[in-house]
Amino acid sequence: MDPQESEFVDRMGLVMDRLGATRTMGRLYAWLMICEPPHQSLTELATQLGVSKTAISTVARQLEMAGMIERVPTSNREHRYRVVSGGWAHVMRVQLAALRPALEALDFGMSVIGDARPGQRARLKETRDFFAFTERDADEFLQRWQEYRKKEDDNRSAG
């Protein structure tokens, strides 16, 4: 890995750290986005990232479960991984699915508070309305994203 690639990998580690994941997760994902060949074994990933094979295995499983990377079929028992197209949209869908229980909890909270405490009810309602708006708008957002990607792919194919 050259110094600029290393800097990119480290920067993505910080990005993922800020998003609530681990730095290693960001570094692994970043390397898989730019490495050649685009699929790497656990040993290759551990060597390139300077992290133990056990740590890489754990993080790779987490990214695989999140739908961001996938295991590549091999003729031997070696685990090889590559980035999955559409991984971030999948992560967004999973995160947005968490809004449903939040809305249910806020609805329950509003029923507990009732109309007797308007200040508390207003705070609950504002939060509930925000989550409801986000949930409603998310489907449209993800649809626009898919349309945008299709148009970009079509333009690349035509050009």
Q: Above 80 in pLDDT, residue 5? A: yes
> If you count them, how many residues does the chain have?
159
What are the b/e assignments for 111-136, b being 16+ CB within 10 Å?
eebeeeeeeebeebbebbeebbeebe
**pLDDT at residue 97, rounded to an integer:** 82
List, by residue range, all CATH 1.10.287.160 domains of the chain: 87-158
Portions of the chain given CATH number 1.10.10.10 = 3-83
Q: Is the pLDDT assigned to residue 129 strictly greater than 90?
A: yes
Q: What is the pLDDT of residues 8-56, one digit of tens each?
A: 999 999 999 998 899 999 999 999 999 999 999 999 999 999 999 999 9
Residue 83 host element (H or E): strand 80-83
- Which residues partner with 41 through β-bridges? 80
Give the whole-angstrom CA distance, residue 57 versus residue 22: 14
% residues pLDDT > 70 (the chain): 99
Helix (H, G, I), strand (E, B) or coil at 37: coil
Rounded Cα gap, residues 103 and 88, in angstroms? 23
Tell me the CATH class for 87-158.
Answer: mainly alpha
Q: What is the pLDDT of residue 62?
A: 92
Tell me which fold the domain 3-83 belongs to: Arc Repressor Mutant, subunit A (1.10.10)
The predicted model gives 108-129 an average pLDDT of 91
pTM reported for the whole predicted model: 0.73
